[in-house]
Amino acid sequence: MSTSPVIETQFRVRYAETDAMGIVYHTNYIIWFEVGRGEYFFQQGMSPADWEQQEVYFPVSELSARFLAPARYGDLVIVRTWVRERRSREVTFAYEVLMAETGQMLVTGWTKHLCVSGEGQVVIIPPNLRDMLRPIEGS
């Protein structure tokens, strides 16, 4: 049984994302994690419009990040996103943010998500989403 892919998203750092230290403000990397996560679903065939017809969603229940080196305005960065763990009712995504040109690692982290119904109940991940979320073992 194959695993799901590692998805890469590439973009330039916006000026709005910097702070008075001249570097990217730390919570913006966490926003980039979600940009990677959105792209993950998108590249597996799940568009934003598809989400509206889906009966579940995946709010963040827990997150962790390590900041190794800063990005600056205009830097070209890559976010790598993959599934690290999947249970019946929750899924954990892992991320790496790195400099596109040098490969230097900037930030690593993960987010855990519960599968929640429209009524706010924690439910089992539906089969079509489950298939998109096959974890990379040992990652």
List residues near a copy of itself by CB under 8 A: 11-12, 14-16, 18-23, 25-28, 30-31, 34-35, 38, 42, 47-49, 57, 59-67, 70, 72-75
12: DSSP letter: E
- Shorter beta-carbon distance to a copy of itself: residue 19 or 131: 19
Smallest distance, a copy of itself to C-beta of residue 15, A = 6
As a whole number of angstroms, the distance between CA 13 and CA 40 comes to 20
What is the C-alpha to C-alpha distance for residues 107 and 110, in angstroms, rounded to an integer? 10
Q: Least distance to a copy of itself from the beta carbon of 101, Å? A: 12
Minimum separation from the CB atom of position 3 to a copy of itself (A): 25
Return d(Cα 71, Cα 98) in angstroms, integer. 9
User: How crowded is residue 19: how many other Cβ atoms within 10 Å of its Cβ?
Assistant: 12
Q: How far apart are CA 97 and CA 71, in angstroms?
A: 10
CB closer to a copy of itself out of 112 and 134: 112
Pick between residue 2 and residue 45 the one whose CB is nearest to a copy of itself.
45
Provide the minimum distance between the beta carbon of 46 and a copy of itself in the complex, in angstroms, as a whole number: 10
Per the CB < 8 A criterion, the answer to whether 103 and 29 are in contact is no
